[in-house]
Amino acid sequence: MTSSARPLRLGILGAADIARRRFLPALQRCPAFEMAGIASRSYERAAALCSQFGGHAYDSYHSLLDDPGIDAVYIPLPPALHFDYALQALKQHKHMLLEKPATVTLEQARQLCTVAEESELTLYENYMFLCHPQLERIKEIISAGRLGELRLIRATFGFPRRASGDFRYQKSLGGGALLDCGGYPLRLALELLGSQVQLTDATLVPDKSAQSPQEAVDLYGNAVMRSSSGLTAQVAFGMDNAYQCSLEIWGSRATLRASRIFTAPPELKITLIIRDDKGEELIEVPPADQFLLSIERFAAAIGNPATNAELRDTILQQSTLVEICRQKAGYSL
Ligand SMILES: NC(=O)c1ccc[n+]([C@@H]2O[C@H](COP(=O)([O-])OP(=O)(O)OC[C@H]3O[C@@H](n4cnc5c(N)ncnc54)[C@H](OP(=O)(O)O)[C@@H]3O)[C@@H](O)[C@H]2O)c1
């Protein structure tokens, strides 16, 4: 829809690390969008980013949302702030590229989906790894029967503890391992096991260094999911863990391993490893900028009702899994 028309004007809420490092460099390479501006709680921070990437600096989120010249908004705020600002953006008739996790609760996801549908706007949750060609290649390998019958899927995503002020360790900002890094392996399991997947068991372990038990986020955890055909996925995640970013698929004939499944950098050539009783086969996937591919997927969805319905369904399925994961683990917000 954007090919014939003028580029859509996209604004950003928050001078976030991920916007500076990954989103803005990718946006510059996407002709579907024009970088319209950045809003920050600090005008200086917005101006500093605009001097690097162009666009207008706004001194508040509301001034950007109120600007009728903005067609689409990217929200890389802490998760607890996603819902209110995304709702306002949709009500101002702007398409939404929402950083993961789209919302903290299922109810919030439902409300955003309803407003997006009624307003015929795109609501997109930015799980970029879904756009990397390595995932397509893995699906082809499975379909071709190279691994045999699938016995188990195992996906892990975790990283060492970050600075204590990071929103990820603050409950009031929507922190916690499940929302931050757990969403990736859950989303991958949903992709590989299909929408009828059941989450059967989960563990979430609270951060003992929190000021009080009420303020403790979940620091690490795991979950078990089962497809309608009985295939099991074990997922694990954590934000006080040795680094892991992997997918392992164990079949009756061979095992496949991908070691940068969620965060492949744009310049990295990916090597998938298949092991069977004859040895190892290395499958190379050329480098790809999954951030740019994700922005392009968002652009392609705008004005496409069928794609938008699928995007909303997936957001709801993912939010449902997250909610069930909390219930099974006995964790309350
Ligand atoms: N898709 C991915 O690969 C990926 C990777 C990393 C993160 N993310 C997601 O992107 C979002 C941001 O992550 P990030 O690592 O970039 O975080 P970050 O650097 O901490 O940025 C968050 C921004 O939110 C704004 N903000 C507003 N109120 C805030 C508050 N009370 N406390 C802290 N920040 C506040 C700040 O911008 P101003 O002060 O300028 O207003 C801040 O720069 C999260 O949803 C995260 O899950 C996605």
The pLDDT value recorded for residue 252 is 98
Ligand 1 pocket member 190 (CB < 6 A): no
Other Cβ atoms closer than 10 A to 219: 24
Q: Which of 91, 100, 139, 171 is catalytic?
A: 100
Q: Ligand 1 within 6 A of 62 CB? A: no
CB 102, CB 298: distance < 8 Å: no
Tens digit of each residue's pLDDT (9 = 90 or more) over 237-247: 999 999 999 99
> Is the C-alpha dihedral spanning 213, 218, 223, 227 positive or negative?
positive
Region of residue 167 (left: phi > 0; alpha: psi -120 to 50; beta: else): alpha
CA of 13 to the centre of ligand 1 (A): 9
Widest CA span in the chain: 62
Mean pLDDT of 35-53: 97
Identify the band that residue 4 occupies on the pLDDT scale cut at 50, 70 and 90. Answer: low
What is the whole-number distance in angstroms between the Cα of residue 115 and the centre of ligand 1?
A: 24
Residues 254-278, mean pLDDT to the nearest whole number = 97
**Atom 32 in ligand 1: residue holding the nearest Cα:** 167
- pTM of the entire structure? 0.96
Question: Residue 2: its pLDDT value, please?
Answer: 46
Which CATH number is associated with domain 8-127+293-319? Answer: 3.40.50.720
CATH number for the domain running over 129-291: 3.30.360.10
| Residue spans per domain, the chain | 8-127+293-319, 129-291
Q: Is 180 touching ligand 1 by the criterion CB < 6 Å? A: yes
Residue 226 CB-density burial (10 A; 0-12 exposed, 13-18 middle, 19+ buried)? middle
Whether 100 is a known active-site residue: answer yes
Separation of 27 CA from ligand 1 center, angstroms? 17
